[in-house]
Structure 1
Amino acid sequence: MMLQPLRLNPGDDLRAALEAGAPTGFVVAGIGSLAHAQLRFAGEPGPTRIEGPLEILTLSGSLTPDGAHLHASVSDAAGRVLGGHVCAGCEVRTTAELLVAPLPAGSLSRAFDTATGYPELRIGDS
């Protein structure tokens, strides 16, 4: 399958838009800007709100019918960089330009993993 470009508009929720409109596959690249972000840092139980304006430096992850697993790094106006798990509430400021590598329907899913405590990626019938 061919790579699929996707553009999100001002006011779009980054995570919600990807979960609603993107195919099963992987986000291989993403840039743009956010009015504010909600990122969950490593080992933390919930997201932290980061006020903008912010630049999206990197965005990648997996997309399944069961939900998305996305990580991003963002920088503020002073150039400070933060990164983590993308949660609901990352509002696009001017644009978000993404490149998605779609995969056939049914090739990826998520299932709860007792070892990690999270819904983890399942490939095919694994």
Structure 2
Amino acid sequence: MRTLVLRLNPGDDLRASLDSALGRSGSDAAFVVSGIGSLSGASIRFAGAPTPARIEGDLEILTLAGSLSPDGSHLHISVSDAEGRVSGGHAAPGCVVRTTAEILVAVLPDWRFARTLDPLTGYAELSPLSLPATPRAGS
């Protein structure tokens, strides 16, 4: 396992930035371990909802976690607004960094994450595949 420590800048889209980081990592599998920061607005799909809701205004990221794969990321987020109200669900495109986002990613080079349709859920679900170990130099 390798780690990436990311600092996103104002105006960055959270999901697009994480997908890009996975692409640059040279791996096809990673987990977001932790994330904090602020957003100027968020698109969050609440449990059971067919489409994301839009939340405007200054938001604090309280939690961010999920899996990253070339076939799509699965991210959960909770945010609080200026009155301390908390909302959470699936982080959709459109979560825009306000001042900063600090994110810890665990990259798993010995794994390949794919998303395949699960007939039980009707969604593209995680299909983890353990890759053969790469021999180390001098072994």
Question: Map of 1:90-101 to 2, 5 A cutoff?
Answer: 90-101=95-106
The farther-off stretch of 30-39 and 18-27 is 18-27
Q: Which residue in the other structure is 1:34 paired with?
A: 39
SS at match of 2:73: strand
CA distances 1:2-27 after superposition (whole Å, capped 9, x unpaired): 32111111001101111122242100
CA RMSD of aligned residues (A): 1.2
Provide structure 2 residue ranges, at least 5 long, that are not aligned to the other structure. 131-139
- Under a length normalisation based on structure 2, what TM-score does the superposition of the two structures give? 0.86
Runs of 4+ in 1 over 4 A off after TM superposition: none
- Classify 1:105/1:65 alpha carbon distance in 2 versus 1 (closer, same or farther; 3 Å): farther
Tell me by how many angstroms 1:44 deviates: 0.3
Q: Output the CA distance in 1 between the equivalents of 2:110 and 2:53.
A: 33
Whether contact under 8 Å (2:2, 2:108) holds in the other structure is no
Q: How do 1:1-126 and structure 2 match up within 5 A?
A: 1-22=1-22, 23=25, 24-104=29-109, 106-124=111-129
Measured in 2, the distance between the counterparts of 1:112 and 1:19 equals 20
Quote the sequence identity (%). 62
Cα 1:105–1:12 shift into 2, 3 Å: farther
**How many positions carry a matched residue from both structures?**
125
Deviates more, 1:70-79 or 1:1-10: 1-10
Between structure 1 and structure 2, the one with the greater Rg is: 2
Counterpart of 1:42 in structure 2: which amino acid?
A
